Amino acid sequence: MGFNLIFMGTPDYAVPTLERLAQGPHRVSLVVTQPDRRKGRKKAAAPPPVKAAALRLGLEVTQPASIRDDSFRALLCRKAPDLFAVVAFGHILSADLLRIPSKGAVNAHASLLPKYRGAAPIQWAIINGETDTGVTTIRMDDGMDTGDILLSRSVKIGDSDTAETLHDRLSHLSADLMIDTLDRLSHGRLHPVPQDHARATTAPMLAKGDGRIDWRLSAAKIERRIRGVTPWPGAFTYHGSNRLKLFAAKPVPAHCCRPPGTVLTGFPEELCIATGDQALSILEIQSASGKRLPIAEFLRGYRISPGSRLT
């Protein structure tokens, strides 16, 4: 017998889970997502991806301006849910709300908890050089990703993975793990395990400035930063007053005696930059007014002289 679910989620990451839940055997009686946001030059209101998916699936949607409103709580109560299924909703639910579903709330989080609690676990796992990550389902409490662990599955982080490619893999793994978790819960075959809070790490939300390259870091750390902030906020640096966006790079074994950020000589049709230890070869780049290009093609139309500095 399936559960009566209220699904809570907002971005693209949550859509595969909603789609899988809508296929049964559970009934999604309500979808809760954040309000529409104004985007683009015209600042037109754009629905969250979860709202667009829910409407396409014929599901009822609500977008509370505040999850603390009494009217929102009353709506949840009227639905008499067995469970909340939560994926990247963007809010921490209060203990009062978590008492509404008769069987509690399940969250699918994109890390191997207790590591990388917070808003940007995918990005920080790459930036910090992790070789593995995954998805964990937990029984929600009123903390930030602190609830008891139900299930987890791991995946390898590839040397070429960006936050975008890893996001896409984990979004589908989250859907699989949520379905498996609910199936086992419905048959009484899950036993929650408390997290080891002493091992917890955090993954704070990224800001636009987190994409700016600090050339004093090692080449390996800069390369991971580029992959970890792609596609958002995007890695960038400045050549004079010109903003350059970086998409791919590779460390180059080279002894560098130039200050970090210096464009190095001896690399025709390449852009090699001195870092805190060795050199970093830029593979894909974009100027403020141009398009994303392989470095050799970019350099045919944009000159960066050896000895100049990127900042």
**Span 69-83, average pLDDT:** 97
**Span 51-75, average pLDDT:** 97
d(CA 104, CA 185): 11
d(CA 86, CA 17): 9
**Span 274-302, average pLDDT:** 94
d(CA 215, CA 261): 5
Strand segments, DSSP code E, in the chain are 4-9, 27-32, 37-39, 44-46, 61-62, 83-87, 105-109, 132-139, 149-156, 235-239, 242-252, 271-274, 279-287, 293-294
Q: Output the pTM of the full model.
A: 0.95
Domains in the chain: boundaries? 4-199, 208-301
pLDDT at 178: 98
The answer to whether residues 28 and 9 touch, using CB atoms and an 8 Å cutoff, is: no
Q: Residue 307 burial (CB < 10 Å; 0-12/13-18/19+)? A: exposed
d(CA 109, CA 86): 9
The answer on pLDDT for 114 being more than 90 is yes
CATH number among 3.40.50.170, 3.90.1200.10, 3.20.80.10, 3.90.1170.50, domain 4-199? 3.40.50.170
The answer on pLDDT for 159 being more than 80 is yes
pLDDT at 38: 82
Superfamily, domain 208-301: Formyl transferase, C-terminal domain (3.10.25.10)
For residue 123, the cross-strand partners are: none
Q: How confident is the model at residue 63 (pLDDT cuts 50, 70, 90)?
A: very high
pLDDT at 265: 83
